[in-house]
Amino acid sequence: MAGKQVFKTALTELTGVRHPVMLGGMHYVGYAGLAAAVSNAGGLGVITALTQTSPEDLRAEIRKTKELTDKPFGVNMTLLPMLKPPNYDAYAHVVVEEGIRVVETAGHYKGLEPFVKLFKDNGMSIIHKCTSTRHAKTAERMGVDMVSIDGFEAAGHPGETDVGGWVLFAKAQQDLSIPWLACGGMGTGGQLAAALNLGAQGVAMGSRFMATKEAAIHDNIKKAIVEGDESSTTLIMRSMRNTERVYKNETAMRILETEREHPGEFDRIRDYVRGAAYKRAFQETGDINEGVWSLGQVTALIHDIPTCEDLIEGLVNDAAACLRKTSSMMVEN
């Protein structure tokens, strides 16, 4: 069971969770088991919608999560360039029909707007993932409730502006009037404390939750994450302006070589970035060099594979200790 509440923030109030920690959406990781484990530990668990091969598969995964937890959880809906775009409308309507109260959205605002209207018309709360405050302000105008601000350290698609979290979070506090979460490179209680001090209402973490006992990925992948350092990721598809931070493996290095020789020619790397290899490595082979898979620079801060409960409890308790220590440095006049 999750321990006592330590922090009360806009995230805990909006979603009804105990701790200001959210599981970010992740392909081939964000399944019911992990989402439920995060929620049962007091955080906000999130299922990744497009990891499911059809809207009805998503419905089944949502119902499975409901069987595993009676705590709040959400669904991630990401609208990004894909080889074969899914039926986003059908996925979104399943989310509505299943009574989900919190949605994490991501992707270009031109595709997002109708989904914001659909979700808000059905009384849902929306947390939109952004890689710049400019995009966050657009999402704010559209009516989202909260934004997740992703620094350049983040796994997956960190945007094209190369701005790290330390600057981006401070900028969010200056520019935004809606609550925001810190995301990208998050993995320690000290970082949670720093984020709260900067004005964040919590943190969203992806890669850190990959290295937990409940994450349904191969042990070899978890081992690679634990053994990683700050140089263990790289950026691919920069020449296509669809930058992705991934684990620096043999496949990623072949992609980088191809991009240097043929910049912007996606067809030359198409076979390397197909999701089938990503999924096979995670779910079957455990071959860390098969395909490319998203990983954040937080891998440098990951040294164990705890349960979600132990991870979250450790985070919030360490954050509280950090804030008490900081408070003791104040000089009373």
Domain CATH for 15: 3.20.20.70
**Residue 140: CB partners within 8 Å, gap ≥ 6?**
147, 176, 177, 178
Q: Could you give the CA distance from residue 240 to residue 65 in angstroms, rounded to a whole number?
A: 37
Give the residue among 300, 240, 298 at the shortest CA–CA distance from 269. 240
Domain presence at residue 301: no
Q: Could you give the CA distance from residue 123 to residue 25 in angstroms, rounded to a whole number?
A: 21
Per-residue pLDDT of the chain (333 residues; tens, 9 = 90+): 457 999 999 999 999 999 999 999 999 999 999 999 999 999 999 999 999 999 999 999 999 999 999 999 999 999 876 667 889 999 999 999 999 999 999 987 678 889 999 999 999 999 999 999 999 999 999 999 999 999 999 999 999 999 999 999 999 999 999 999 999 999 999 999 999 999 999 999 999 999 999 999 999 999 999 999 999 999 999 999 999 999 999 999 999 999 999 999 999 999 999 888 989 999 999 999 999 999 999 999 999 999 999 999 999 999 999 999 999 998 987
Rounded to the nearest 10°, the torsion over CA 135, 73, 44, 162 is: -30
Phi, psi of 140 (to 5 degrees): -60, -45
Domain presence at residue 44: yes
The structural domain count of the chain equals 2
Indicate the helix (H) or strand (E) that contains 92.
helix 88-97
My answer on whether 188 and 256 are in the same domain is: no
**In contact, 282 and 26? CB cutoff 8 Å:** no
- Residue 25's identity, in one-letter code, is G
My answer on whether 154 and 239 are in the same domain is: no
Alpha-carbon Rg for the chain in angstroms: 19
Residue 112 domain boundaries: 10-217
My answer on whether 170 and 288 are in the same domain is: no
Domain-terminating residue out of 217, 241, 259:
217
44: helix, strand or coil: strand
**Residue position matching structure tokens 């409940």:** 214
**In contact, 207 and 150? CB cutoff 8 Å:** no
My answer on whether 149 and 274 are in the same domain is: no
